[in-house]
A = this chain, B = another copy of it.
Amino acid sequence: MKYFHIADLHLGKKINERSMHDDQEWILNQIVTQAKTHQVDGVIIAGDIYDRSIPPVESVKLFEHFLESLKGVVDAIYIIAGNHDSQERLSFGSTFFKKENIYISGLYEGSLVKVDAKDDVTIYLLPFIRPHMVRQYFTQEISNYHQAVDAILNQEILDSSRFNILVAHQFIVSGTQEPLRSDSETISVGGVDSVDASVFDAFDYVALGHIHRPQSIQRKTIRYAGSPLVYSQSEVNQEKSITLLEIMDKTLTQETIPLVPIRPVKVIKGHFSDIVQSEYTLDYVYLELEDTQEITDASMRLRQVFPNVLSIRYLYTQSLTSSSETLEISRVEDLSMASLFDAFYQTQNNHEMSGEQKKLIDSLIEQGDAHATN
């Protein structure tokens, strides 16, 4: 049996207001073509099909077209919801899709969807969960993500004579080792959402989604497939790929198939006067200006050379003109929810919140916390 493991499609994604629709259509077609070339039996999509819970209509059509094309080539498709998906909306029609060998697990409802495939392979689907979403199903204490996933998996009785694959969408760590992240994943505050890889000990392969850089955690067979496209500046040097699994007689062979985007994504750093003299290119670029003073009309003049510019950032000014302004990840983990919101508000509005607004946010956060711990 041959499987493709992919994840984090984020259909409907925009980078600084630029729609990635055409890029996504291109890369999905490539995945279908590769599935045909490699005579793949099944495709696993480990969450974050869409970039938000109510995706644009064109993304819904694109995803349906992708499923339709894939089904012309492979026998089965296995899908879980990620944190970006609306679990209920993604599930619509799942009863009927199942009859076409398209298995969609949107919302965890007390047990995992389990599919016995050919050649002694069994696939378990664990959609993205938060602790409060699973507490009702268990008697033991569940106060964090690790305990939640642990409880869910412990409840399943695996047949060790089969090759057991788990599909999941969580933030997995191995002891103190964390996966290499990118800016585009949701940033966890204080690591509360991390799940130790030890929970997967019983599974032969764990097909993960959530982290955009393709990588294995703890062992080669616990793997993030990564996103099919570069979705943030921090992903620029990542080679995106499909993870190909071949299982024969309970033995796994693993390799990666590179994915080639319509156009490359680059970071270009330097002084305006140099950069503006670059050769005209349709490549996607993140521009980092080393000038210490803002240049008049910089954006307009740079766009003549780089029509597909994704962002322009002054490295050494305090200006807020950049549209890709982000907080340093290292700082984020030390900040409280209130300070994070405060920083977000400032970035969005270019001024601080009023005292009244701050009070409102504080009370909302308090209510949210109370709710989350109930």
Q: How many chain copies?
A: 2
Q: Does A18 reach chain B (CB closer than 8 Å)?
A: no
**A64: which of B86, B95, B100 is its contact (CB, 8 Å)?**
B95
A59 → chain B closest CB, angstroms: 10
Instruction: Looking at the assembled complex, report how far the CB atom of A21 sits from the nearest CB atom of chain B, in whole angstroms.
Output: 14
Which residue on B lies nearest to A97, using beta carbons? Answer: B96
A52, chain B: closest CB distance, angstroms? 12
Which residues does chain B contribute within 8 Å of A92, judged by CB atoms? Answer: 60-61, 63-64, 92-93
Q: Is the CB of A100 within 8 A of B96?
A: yes
In the complex, which residues of chain B have a beta carbon less than 8 angstroms from the beta carbon of A64?
91-95
For A96, what are the chain B residues with a Cβ–Cβ distance below 8 Å?
67-68, 71, 93, 96-97, 100, 102
* A89–B60 touching, CB < 8 Å: yes
Tell me if A99 is interfacial: C-beta within 8 Å of chain B.
yes
Select A93's contact among B57, B58, B88, B97, beta carbons within 8 Å: B97
Q: Provide the main secondary structure of the chain A interface.
A: helix
Shortest CB-to-CB span from A51 to chain B, Å, is: 16
Chain B residues near A88 (CB-CB < 8 A): 57-58, 60-61
Select one of B57, B67, B68, B91 contacting A89, CB under 8 A. B57
Instruction: Report how far A86 CA is from B58 CA in the complex, Å.
Output: 12
Which residues in B have their C-beta under 8 angstroms from that of A99?
99-100
Cβ-based interface call for A54 (8 A): yes
**Cα–Cα, bound, A94→B100 (Å):** 12
A5 to B67, CA, bound (A): 31
B interface footprint on A97-139 (CB within 8 Å = 1, 0 otherwise): 1011010000000000000000000000000000000000000
Enumerate chain B residues within 8 angstroms of A54, measured Cβ to Cβ. 54
Residues in B with CB closer than 8 Å to A57 are 86, 88-89
CB distance from A166 to the nearest CB of B (A): 25
Task: List 6 additional contacts besides A57-B89, A93-B96, A99-B100; criterion CB under 8 Å.
Answer: A60-B92, A67-B95, A68-B96, A92-B93, A96-B102, A99-B99
Could you list some 24 contacts between A and B, CB below 8 A?
Answer: A57-B86, A57-B88, A58-B88, A60-B89, A60-B92, A61-B91, A63-B92, A64-B91, A64-B92, A64-B93, A64-B94, A64-B95, A67-B96, A68-B95, A68-B96, A92-B92, A93-B93, A93-B96, A93-B97, A96-B96, A96-B100, A96-B102, A99-B99, A99-B100
